[in-house]
Copies of this chain bind each other. A is one copy, B any other.
Amino acid sequence: MSAQAITTDSLGYLARQSIRQGHHRSATSNLAPGYVQANLAILPASLATDFLRFCQQNPKPCPLLAVSSAGDISLPSIAKNLDIRTDVPRYVLWRNGEAMGDLEDLRTVWREDLVTFAIGCSFSFEQALLSARVPVRNIEQNHNVSMYITNIPTQAAGPFSGPMVVSMRPMKAADAIKAIQITSRYPSVHGAPIHFGDPSEIGIKDLDRPDYGDPTEIRSGEVPVFWACGVTPQSAIRSAKPEISITHKPGYMLVTDLLNVELEFR
């Protein structure tokens, strides 16, 4: 991303300032419309190489937008003047793969060996779908997208492994074709779907019982369309059981200064 795309008065910057000052502690959807929001993973430097390899080997569920050097609280390529310890509205602290609870501030747990990873999120392609008049049920109905653990293995790297997690959006076939075209243009936010139609082909037993998120109504004439999901790396991190790791609380994302439209073919 070129420096001139990022100005101090981007809506993303203003949103992060508001979060840092404690004025915004709720979920980030509808905050800074048009700006890229990212999944967050923070790991000790000793695991950084393996996790980078995991992301490189599994780009559809784990599209990396930015990585910090150890101890660095900034990610200048995507967010001006970032303090990753204070600029996300809610975090989850994990120890040995178990959730220790939510935090609103990482300053008390921060360590000089922590590396920050920002990973693309489907919010960006959902905006592109809506802009092209492709209805997105989870947005229309204001609930979380349905997510499922599949039987598709990821390519393991060190302790990071596990099945791919997918998100599902039901669509008419003509809209699904448009959605495949549109999301193909956004490889850094999961890209094209990995499957549509029969859920059992990817190991999903019951669409009405998602493993994460809320159930989604599928109407007559609609097919379920499945995208690789950013919960996959979180799940791989949990199974790797690092001594310490930190993620965003789902829905409480890192708001960046990148525009969604800047992710096209990037």
The answer, yes or no, to whether A201 is at the interface (CB within 8 Å) is: yes
The proximity string for A residues 182-216 relative to B, scoring 1 for CB distances below 8 Å and 0 otherwise, is 00100000001111111001000000000000000
Chain B residues, CB < 8 A from A181: 180-181, 184, 192
How many angstroms from the CA of A173 to the CA of B201 in the assembled complex? 9
Q: A181-B181, A184-B181 are in contact. Are A221 and B193 (CB under 8 A)?
A: no
A195 touches B223 (CB 8 A): no
Determine the chain B residues whose CB is within 8 A of the CB of A41 once the complex forms: none
B196 near A176 with CB under 8 A, answer yes
| Interface: A174 (CB within 8 A) | yes
Complex-state Cα separation, A192 to B195, whole angstroms:
17
Q: Is there contact, CB below 8 Å, between B173 and A197?
A: yes
- Is A177 in contact with chain B by the CB < 8 A criterion? yes
Complex-state Cα separation, A196 to B180, whole angstroms: 12
Which of A174, A180, A192 has the largest count of B CB atoms less than 10 A from its CB?
A180
Given contacts A173-B196, A177-B195, A180-B181, 10 further A-B contacts (CB under 8 A): A173-B195, A176-B196, A177-B180, A177-B194, A180-B180, A181-B181, A181-B192, A197-B197, A197-B223, A201-B221
Chain A residues in the interface with B (C-beta under 8 A): 173-174, 176-177, 180-181, 184, 192-198, 201, 221, 223
What are 17 sample pairs from A and B whose C-beta atoms fall under 8 A apart? A173-B195, A173-B196, A173-B198, A174-B194, A174-B195, A177-B180, A177-B192, A177-B193, A177-B194, A177-B195, A180-B180, A180-B181, A181-B184, A181-B192, A184-B184, A197-B223, A198-B221
